[in-house]
Amino acid sequence: MRRAFYERPVLEVARDLVGCVVTHQGCSGVIVETEAYHDSEPACHAFVGLTARTRTLFGPPGRAYVYRSYGVHALLNAVCEPAGVGAAVLIRALEPAEGIDLMRQRRGVERLPRLCSGPGNLTQALGITLADNDGDLARGPVVISGRPAAWRSVEVAVDRRIGITKAVELPWRFCAAGSRFLSRPVRAVAAPGAVQP
């Protein structure tokens, strides 16, 4: 997808990424869950301003922001909005599509719904590491491509973000309605974009 796709408000991009495809090292999956983060709210890494860690977040849109969570998992984010704004979409869960045997080997998990359920699980399954930080999401090494035909009219449910302690009230989590591959079930459908950054 072109840079213009990401050069929009992060809430729009987070919703529109549901149904798109992430590909890396021979594996791919359809995005079924995302969360939006913006420098105007304290759950976002960019809230503290420009640092060595957040440099990619403030860079041009359409880049991969990959960081380590709790010293264990690399998490994949898509940088959004114009350069100078710290905003990104966390990719929280995928429905596995290609390279499933390799994903199972990397994860040590057999059950399909658990392979890419959760942001740390999906990066492990796809072999995404910190070395992929600041890569071009159109050219790779991590590539995000548009929705396949079967996902063009996916219904998106909206919920509050999970796994955070700040700005928990914001309905900035977007999920493919009814998907069995989510990291956690949708608790309540909220008005999309109810609180704009």
Residue 136 half-sphere exposure toward CB, CA atoms < 13 A = 5
Residue 159's pLDDT band (cuts 50, 70, 90)? very high
pLDDT at 110: 94
pLDDT of 26 above 50 = yes
Average pLDDT over the chain, rounded to whole?
93
Range 3-176 classified under CATH 3.40.50.720: no
pLDDT of 193 above 50 = no
Q: Where are the domains of the chain?
A: 3-176
Question: What pLDDT digit, counting tens, does each position of 49-103 carry?
Answer: 888 888 999 999 999 999 987 667 899 999 999 999 999 999 999 999 999 999 9
What contacts 3, CB < 8 A, 6 or more positions away?
60, 61, 62, 138
pLDDT of 196 above 70 = no
What number is the average pLDDT over the span 145-160? Answer: 95
pLDDT of 192 above 70 = no
What number is the average pLDDT over the span 17-45? Answer: 96
pTM, to two decimals: 0.94
pLDDT at 127: 97
Cβ–Cβ under 8 Å, residues 142 and 22: yes
What number is the average pLDDT over the span 179-190? Answer: 84
Compute the C-alpha angle 123/124/125, nearest 5°.
90
Phi, psi dihedral angles at 191 (to 5 degrees): -70, 125
Question: What pLDDT digit, counting tens, does each position of 105-147 carry?
Answer: 999 999 999 999 999 999 999 999 999 999 999 999 999 999 9
